[in-house]
């Protein structure tokens, strides 16, 4: 039975898919090729793909479907979740708006994203939550909001966390602004305990990092740039763990970047504390040596660290100290990047390369099932999203991808408004091909013509 691969991005009521290899450690079909039917956004029929042709029962069901897709050569997993994305809408739509951000997410293979309160006004009341939910309800991508932890992210007064939780906030964070008020963090952890809320922190002691713009070390000295010591992150992580031990609750540390931070979190987990963490995909392959040349595409916070740190991050993924891999997508415009390095904004367009850059960095070191878990079940568990499994009667929230495709990054193909990528011109391995969610199918830049 030969089917033509059909690419579209429209409402879908019925879909037949053949020959997809399942990568889902929670699925009874993990590692197997399957044929399956999607109706009304649910997987209604599933069978192992044995031999050259599907079963007569599948063929009969497929004949009633609106669309048919051959996924031969592709793998399928539950839809990918990116739990750290900046889409500054409302307020800075010229950098990225909710529609362009969702399109970029599809291009990166993500069916669900959690966005930071890096907006104006901040995500700190039900009206802003309602605005975001209304603007994204028709998108293929499911958009979840991380609300501000403190009012205007000023680290002085807690937001109405319980009310925000009831209106859909999946976590509370000051975004890229560190929480330096220990009393505030303790109260946030204690207050969130009754409703199992998640407190998310960026680990940085600004009294140590000061005006630093790159990792403190030989590279910062050779370039004459002010450095941010790894100690800044490590002191913050250590303090957070002490406060969590005292207050209890659930704490998530975002984009860890140093070897010692990973070690501290590993010990805290063994102690039984409810602590989780993530790593930005670009931190798994790019180090401080990329900064030679003062290219602002490589300016991030936390800054690119050393090869020693990268090794520790990879080991952290391997032993599950690091739970999730995120894009840390932080789109910037020309005025923010085409300036002297010291004055350039942190961040780049990374959601469309997150999976590929992670696979390229981890290939041969970590099994694909573990990598996929960092994009699927792990972030889902952290932000308390419903479980997705590739099995009958589960929602069709799916990402199809080619594990082995090699491609050269060209930001001109990005859907993000921001075209600043640290991987521009680099060859990566691994490519999302299309996504299914909310009864819709969306192709990526890697989809077949």
Q: Which has the closest alpha carbon to 200: 154, 247, 252?
A: 252
| Structure tokens belonging to residue 214 | 């790159």
Distance CA 148, CA 154 (A): 10
Catalytic residue among 82, 205, 328, 391: 328
- Is 278 annotated in the active site? no
Q: Is the dihedral of CA 375, 301, 410, 311 positive or negative?
A: negative
Q: How far apart are the first and last CA of the chain?
A: 20
Residue numbers annotated as active site: 328
């Amino acid at each position: 039975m030969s089917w033509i691969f059909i690419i579209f991005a429209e409402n879908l009521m019925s879909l037949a898919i053949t020959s997809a290899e399942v990568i889902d450690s929670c699925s009874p079909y993990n590692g197997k090729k399957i044929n399956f039917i999607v109706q009304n956004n649910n997987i209604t029929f599933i069978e192992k793909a044995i031999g050259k042709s599907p079963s007569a029962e599948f063929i009969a069901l497929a004949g009633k479907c609106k669309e048919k897709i051959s996924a031969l050569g592709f793998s399928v997993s539950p839809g990918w979740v990116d739990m750290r994305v900046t889409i500054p809408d409302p307020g800075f739509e010229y950098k990225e708006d909710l529609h362009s951000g969702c399109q970029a997410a599809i291009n990166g293979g993500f069916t669900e994203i959690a966005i930071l309160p890096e907006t104006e006004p901040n995500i700190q009341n039900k009206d802003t939550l309602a605005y975001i939910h209304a603007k994204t309800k028709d998108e293929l991508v499911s958009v979840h909001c991380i609300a501000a932890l403190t009012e205007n992210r000023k680290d002085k007064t807690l937001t109405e966390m319980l009310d925000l939780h009831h209106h859909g906030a999946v976590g509370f964070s000051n975004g890229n602004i560190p929480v330096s008020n220990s009393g505030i963090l303790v109260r946030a952890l204690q207050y969130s305990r009754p409703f199992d809320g998640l407190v998310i922190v960026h680990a940085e002691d600004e009294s140590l990092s000061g005006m630093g713009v790159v990792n403190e070390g030989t590279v910062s000295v050779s370039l004459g740039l002010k450095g941010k010591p790894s100690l800044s992150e490590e002191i913050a992580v250590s303090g957070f763990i002490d406060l969590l031990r005292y207050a209890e609750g659930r704490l998530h540390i975002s984009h860890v970047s140093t070897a010692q931070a990973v070690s501290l979190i590993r010990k805290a987990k063994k102690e039984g504390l409810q602590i989780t963490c993530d790593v930005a995909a670009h931190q798994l392959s790019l180090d401080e040596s990329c900064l030679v040349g003062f290219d602002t595409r490589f300016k991030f916070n936390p800054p690119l660290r050393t090869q020693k740190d990268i090794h520790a991050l990879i080991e952290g993924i391997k032993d599950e100290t690091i739970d999730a891999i995120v894009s840390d997508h932080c789109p910037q415009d020309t005025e923010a990047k085409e300036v002297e390095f010291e004055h350039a904004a942190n961040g780049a367009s990374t959601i469309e390369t997150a999976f590929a850059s992670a696979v390229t960095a981890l290939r041969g070191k970590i099994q694909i099932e573990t990598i996929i878990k960092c994009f699927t079940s792990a972030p889902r568990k952290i932000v308390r999203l419903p479980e997705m499994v590739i099995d009958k009667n589960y929602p069709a929230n799916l990402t199809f991808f080619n594990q082995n495709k090699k491609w050269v990054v060209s930001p001109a193909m990005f859907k993000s408004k921001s075209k600043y990528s640290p991987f521009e011109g680099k060859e990566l391995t691994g490519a999302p091909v299309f996504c299914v969610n909310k009864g819709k199918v969306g192709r990526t830049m890697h989809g077949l013509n």
